[in-house]
Structure 1
Amino acid sequence: MLKITTLLFTLLISSALYAQTVKLTTLNWPPYTEKSLKDLGFTSLIVTKAFEQAGYQVDIKIFPWKRAVKQGTTAGSQFSGVFPEYTDGCKAHQGLESNLIGRGPLAFIEKSGANIQWNSLSDLSQLKIGTVLGYANTPEFDKMAAEKKLKVKAAKDDLINLKKVLKGRINLAVIDENVFRYLQAQHPEFKSLKVNSKLLSEGIGLHICFRNDPKGKTLLKAFNQGLEKINIQEITDNYLKALLKN
């Protein structure tokens, strides 16, 4: 009788844990999210800790960005959301935007001796600028790029763009400053590149974009409550300090 009771208790606990597991999608975007990094990157760690505060376990799967968005926002998917997403991106997918899980300062990367000066984006109209396919930048930048007022060429990833800057194929590359610092630490050849003196954006807000359905609404509420119980900046600073030191 004791064995049966123990088995039933174990099954009940397992079922409860399974019921409290949320599945999310993301991309390889170190140091924010990355399958080879500890805790899958510092943003994944923030998401996990916030959900833990709300009583959920998190199952994070990594895909190419477009697939991550589709899996995380399409009705009928096993996943309930995608991160890290910008406000405009979440609106475009008609999703439910969480409170901030961090910010991504957007920078222009140039060769160390370039010292490109600009006050408005129109000052860059004659330069070749690299972006990443499928990424949102700032509304003004993306609007000007769509209207061909900027000479923008999209690449598969940030690494390709940095190599293009290094070889002089493009003048500037749009990249998150934290990502650049990480890649610069990983690739010694990028030591001859630097952040332009003027940021494209001081910090674009990052969020989880939950699917807009009843489950998504429940998860959104629980996650936001969990976020209030953790220190996002402390988690971010400690993680990056340890990562870039190694």
Structure 2
Amino acid sequence: MRITTLLLTAALLMPAQSWAHAWLKLEIATTEYPPYTSTEMEHEGYINHIINEAFLETGVVVEFTSLKWEDALEATKNGEFDAVSYGNFVRSREDEFLHSKPITAESLVFYVRRDGPVQQWNTLSDLDQYKMGITDGYLYTDELTGYIEKNKNIVTYDTDEENFQALIDGEIDIFPIDELTGWYLLEREFNQDDRNDVMRLETYLSTVTTHLLIPKGRKNSRLVMELFNKGLEEITLEGKMQRFKRLLKEGFYQHPEKPVNYDRR
């Protein structure tokens, strides 16, 4: 991916309609994290739809390749991809990645067993005696990551689904996950009895912003970020972000073979 400063200036200033053809193609690593990102969903998921449309505003096309989360990060750091879709803002990641402007803001919550020992919490130290399940390779928030590193009552599973199953089976007591993803997985992958066994605690852990992650130290990293930020601003002004959010709530992006009734939220 090579481009001159002159082309960069033109890309940022010219409207999308003036591009008869894309002048640049980017390779973006993504993961299976429905309904935000998934190769089996419309437009490869809600977040990837936003990313694709934002880049199109500046005449750039993207191609997504789905990998495991840790593999996506490592391959992108090694120069195999131009960016990763997507990640929460985490300060410890700033040494290796640039964070784009926020794409969305989502709530990080705790799920517990309905009849389990955890019914409420005020500070993370309240949870020290309980087994917390986490998903391998994830960085949640700076606060929670610090807590996990110091706590011995942490159990790691490969996937969010495995964490939910461990919670239902009583192998763990509490599990942090993005609110929408947690609800979506429970609706799609578990039966009504399983869903009745768990509940979301009312006290949120935090609200996190999501970002396109661009590897630092590459010649065109800053360019990729500026193009995306410019396109994101444009689709926001055009009202597309609100439309995409509405499509998400209406179930437009979901897996066709296992539809989820979003009206139940």
Shorter chain as denominator, the TM-score bin is 0.7 to 0.9
Q: Across the two proteins, how many residue pairs are aligned to each other?
A: 226
Q: 1:90 to 1:240 in 2, by over 3 A?
A: farther
Q: Which amino acid aligns with 2:132?
A: I
| Native 8 Å contact 2:90 2:141 kept in 1 | no
Match of 1:163, SS state, is: helix
Q: TM-score, normalised by structure 1?
A: 0.85
User: Going by fraction, where is helix more abundant, 1 or 2?
Assistant: 1
Q: 1:74 to 1:123 in 2, by over 3 A?
A: same
* Paired position in structure 1 for 2:123: 120
* Paired position in structure 1 for 2:205: 200
Q: How high is the sequence identity, in percent, across the aligned residues?
A: 23
* Paired position in structure 2 for 1:135: 138
Q: Which amino acid aligns with 2:223?
A: T
| Native 8 Å contact 2:26 2:62 kept in 1 | yes
Q: Distance in 2 between matches of 1:33 and 1:190?
A: 24
| TM superposition shift of 1:32 | 0.7
Residue range with higher mean Cα deviation, 26-35 or 206-215: 206-215
Q: Which amino acid aligns with 2:221?
A: G
| Native 8 Å contact 1:89 1:136 kept in 2 | no
Match of 2:90, SS state, is: helix
Q: 1:160 to 1:36 in 2, by over 3 A?
A: same
Q: Distance in 2 between matches of 1:160 and 1:225?
A: 38
User: Are positions 1:228 and 2:233 aligned together?
Assistant: yes
| Native 8 Å contact 1:98 1:209 kept in 2 | yes
Q: Which amino acid aligns with 1:74?
A: N
Q: Which amino acid aligns with 1:235?
A: F
Q: Which runs of 5 or more residues in structure 2 are unaligned?
A: 1-20, 255-259
Q: Which amino acid aligns with 1:237?
A: R
Residue range with higher mean Cα deviation, 123-132 or 210-219: 210-219
User: Are positions 1:23 and 2:42 aligned together?
Assistant: no
* Paired position in structure 2 for 1:237: 246
| TM superposition shift of 1:173 | 1.0
* Paired position in structure 2 for 1:11: none
Match of 1:33, SS state, is: coil
Rg larger in 1 or in 2? 1
Q: TM-score, normalised by structure 2?
A: 0.79
- Name which of 39, 48, 53 aligns with 2:52: 48
Q: Which amino acid aligns with 1:234?
A: R
How is 1:146-185 mapped onto 2 (pairs within 5 angstroms)?
A: 146-148=149-151, 151-185=153-187
Match of 2:211, SS state, is: strand
Match of 1:119, SS state, is: coil
RMSD after superposition: 1.9
Q: 1:40 to 1:93 in 2, by over 3 A?
A: farther
Residue range with higher mean Cα deviation, 33-42 or 88-97: 88-97
Residue range with higher mean Cα deviation, 119-128 or 19-28: 19-28
Q: Distance in 2 between matches of 1:64 and 1:135?
A: 11
* Paired position in structure 1 for 2:13: none
Q: Which runs of 5 or more residues in structure 1 are unaligned?
A: 1-15
